[in-house]
Amino acid sequence: MAHHGNTPAAWTGVTIAMIGFVVGGVALMMTPVNMTVFWVAAVITVLALPVFAVMNKMGMGD
């Protein structure tokens, strides 16, 4: 645990989640609210966890 999140797996997971949150926020600010884009953003955000887990198992999280 010497890296404290400074690993490629952590950075990639956080970046993907942040992109999902930003896209979701933009979708909610559209007039009218674009729910299709919002749900795509939700899927992107949820995909951050398996991407992190796979990269961690590949040794990029140590």
pLDDT of residue 33: 94
pLDDT of residue 14: 96
pLDDT of residue 2: 63
User: What pLDDT digit, counting tens, does each position of 49-59 carry?
Assistant: 999 999 999 99
3-class DSSP string for the chain: CCCCCCCHHHHHHHHHHHHHHHHHHHHHHCCCCCHHHHHHHHHHHHHHHHHHHHHHHHHHCC
Domain range summary for the chain, segments of one domain joined by +: 8-60
User: What pLDDT digit, counting tens, does each position of 10-38 carry?
Assistant: 999 999 999 999 999 999 999 999 999 99
CB 15 within 8 A of CB 22: no
